[in-house]
Amino acid sequence: MREQADETTHFGFESVRLDAKQGLVDRVFDTVADRYDVMNDVMSGGLHRAWKSALITALNLPRGVRRFDMLDVAGGTGDISFRALKRGGPGVHATLFDINHAMLEVGQARAEKQGFGDRVDVVQGNAESLPFEDRRFDAVTIAFGLRNVPRIDAALAEMRRVLKPGGRFFCLEFSTVDAPVLDRVYDLYSFHVIPRLGQAIAGDGEPYRYLVESIRRFPAPEDLAEKMRDAGFERVQWTPYTGGIAALHSGWRL
């Protein structure tokens, strides 16, 4: 049997050792941390804002004082967490979780600036081994982060583990374009325009090139749905956005 360290995965289009991917991904996000929201605008043409709004609506957050605990995995700079806290009532509490210290530093600063310091816990760790007890959270979200996790199956199982029975998981991610003309336009934009914009914005186009390639390596919507079912989620469904450029998957722990 091969040692686990010799197993391979993909970093963009490059084949790498499974245990090496996380370090490579960390270096990408160290580079873009202070420009992450701009990066998302570049990657999505600004559409990520509408897609994130749809995720927050789907959370169906309570507006009163009833306690509602959400875990924002790969939450980085806190965009999903802060949107949820603004939409929900005073009982909504977010745990902002990410493996990358630079991203969390930006998120922590924004939490304090926006006055959410007492409603946000900032925790650093690995999505494949969440440092939380079973059945703790009412909802778990991950937005544009699952494709960067080396072991997606392990992360999905962990996110289900920490959900309360009756809790719901949401994954917003770039997906598979299913419109015949849009797919060609999107490929041209992704591989030729985005890295150049990254070079102009951040002085380095390589992180943006990786992010584009990572989208193409990510499972198709039906394949991700099957992985979620294998992890134990029920009532799995997904909604494509903008011709399939992105998709919102959801599943319940029943």
Model confidence over 35-86: pLDDT tens digits?
777 777 877 888 999 999 999 999 999 999 999 999 999 998 999 999 999 9
pLDDT tens, residue by residue, 2-13: 334 457 655 545
What local confidence, expressed as pLDDT, does residue 3 receive? 39
Tell me whether residue 199 is in a domain. no
Q: How many domains in the chain?
A: 1
Examine residue 230 and state whether it is found in any structural domain, yes or no.
yes
CATH classification of the domain holding 38: 3.40.50.150
Q: Domain range holding 47?
A: 4-177+209-253
The Cα 188–Cα 183 span in angstroms is: 9
Q: What percent of the chain has pLDDT over 90?
A: 63
184 in any annotated domain: no
> How many CA within 13 A on the CB side of residue 151?
17
Per-residue model confidence (pLDDT) at position 6: 55
- Counting as low any pLDDT under 70, the low residues of the chain are 1-6, 8-33, 202, 204
197 part of a folded domain:
no
In a domain, 108, yes or no: yes
Coil vs helix vs strand at 172: strand
Does residue 72 form part of some domain?
A: yes
Strand 163-174 relative to strand 8-11: parallel, antiparallel, unpaired?
unpaired
H or E element, residue 160? helix 152-161
Q: What is the pTM of this model?
A: 0.86
What does the pLDDT read at residue 16?
46
Residue 191 covered by a domain: no
- Does residue 187 belong to any structural domain of this protein? no
Measuring CA to CA, how many Å separate 237 from each of 116, 165, 228? Answer: 32, 18, 10
Q: How many CA atoms lie within 13 A of 86 on its CB side?
A: 12
